[in-house]
Amino acid sequence: MPKPRKLQIALEATPFYHCVSRCVRRAFLCGEDSVTGRSYEHRRHKIEHDLLKLASIFYIDVAAFAVMSNHYHVVLHVDSAEAHNADAKEIVRRWHQLFKGKDVSHRFLNDESLEPHELNQIDVLIDTWRSRLFDISWFMKVLNENTARQANKEDECTGHFWESRYKSQALLDEKAVLSAMCYVDLNPIRVAIATTPENSDHTSIKLRIDYWKNKAKMQNAASDDTLQPASLMPFAGNLRQLRILAQSDHRFWN
């Protein structure tokens, strides 16, 4: 029997989690269906775009990701401290990027006069929205619902597109985080849909490598290891060493 989600997400133990969502039906999330010949590759870019866009709204960083044919992997870092330190208007602004919000929340942003009962209402809304903006379940919910609606419309069908629950694994130390990131980034190579990290489309490692190469070429700063895409969680260390370590660890290839 699956564990309750609250037992799988324990921020007091670790802010890092490896999550996986998988399609429930045979139809592809991305890639090309060899039976029907229909291509779903256009969805792959959309999922990557939505994933990174949500990371800029939620107080959740994307450390690694890989979009596969019928599932995707993502390593997430929850920044609860930043969420708790954010002011009320910032919380409302971020929530309005996801949902319409309430009339009272729009008036609050516009500095309109609010009645005492409306001030109480906005306080409750802000507390609720703040907690949701660093909640992995809400992050995955928004991402998956958007994808499911688009896929059902394209496939001209209704019903579940995803398995009922995404899988979540807590990463309790640095070794676990690195192992999960390597596993996620090398997943396309492991299943033979790519040969190197450099041509593993729609993965975080390719995004980091491409960004680093382009910036180094433009700035003539090939030795500057701090050059990393703002859309991904930054990490310390040498990017080339990380890539070599990942490629040399045969646990991720078998």
Domain assignment present for 204:
yes
Residues 87 and 75 occupy one common structural domain: no
**Residue 254: CB atoms within 10 Å:** 5
Domain assignment present for 21:
yes
Residues 68 and 155 occupy one common structural domain: yes
Q: Could you read off the pLDDT of 100-144 as tens digits, one per residue?
A: 999 999 999 999 998 999 999 999 999 999 999 999 999 999 998
Domain assignment present for 207:
yes
Give the span between the Cα atoms of 96 and 98, in whole angstroms. 5
Q: Could you read off the pLDDT of 51-61 as tens digits, one per residue?
A: 999 999 999 99
Residues 99 and 72 occupy one common structural domain: no
Domain boundary (94, 110, 132) is at 132
Residues 32 and 87 occupy one common structural domain: no
Q: Could you read off the pLDDT of 78-97 as tens digits, one per residue?
A: 999 999 999 999 999 999 99
Residues 71 and 97 occupy one common structural domain: no
Residue among 249, 210, 252, 248 at smallest CA distance from 229: 210
Q: Considering its fold, how many domains does the chain have in total?
A: 2
pLDDT, average across residues 198-210: 84
- Give, as one character, the DSSP assignment of residue 194: -
pLDDT at 119: 93
Domain boundary (132, 161, 195) is at 132
Average pLDDT for the chain: 81
Q: At what angle do helices 42-57 and 136-155 cross, to 10 degrees?
A: 150
Q: Which phi and psi (to 5°) does residue 137 adopt?
A: -60, -40
Residue among 187, 254, 173 at smallest CA distance from 22: 187
How far is C-alpha 128 from the chain's CA centre?
Answer: 21
Q: Which phi and psi (to 5°) does residue 9 adopt?
A: -110, 110
CB neighbours of 96 closer than 8 A, spacing ≥ 6?
105, 106, 109
pLDDT at 31: 62
Domain assignment present for 108:
yes
User: What is the residue range of 41's domain?
Assistant: 7-79+135-252
Residues 165 and 236 occupy one common structural domain: yes
Residues 214 and 163 occupy one common structural domain: yes
Residues 70 and 95 occupy one common structural domain: no
Residues 66 and 105 occupy one common structural domain: no
Q: How confident is the model at residue 209 (pLDDT cuts 50, 70, 90)?
A: confident
Q: How confident is the model at residue 219 (pLDDT cuts 50, 70, 90)?
A: low
Mean pLDDT lowest among 6-10, 93-97, 240-244:
240-244
Higher pLDDT, 146 or 78: 78
The domain spanning residue 60 has which CATH number?
3.30.70.1290
pLDDT, average across residues 205-212: 83
pLDDT at 28: 61
Whether residue 247 is predicted with pLDDT greater than 90 in this model: the reply is no
Residues 201 and 217 occupy one common structural domain: yes
- Can you read off the two tokens belonging to residue 126? 């802000």
pLDDT at 43: 77
Domain assignment present for 1:
no
Q: How confident is the model at residue 252 (pLDDT cuts 50, 70, 90)?
A: very low
Domain assignment present for 166:
yes
Domain assignment present for 139:
yes
Residues 123 and 241 occupy one common structural domain: no
Which secondary-structure segment (H or E) carries 18? strand 16-22
Domain assignment present for 2:
no
Residues 112 and 17 occupy one common structural domain: no
- Residue type present at position 162: W
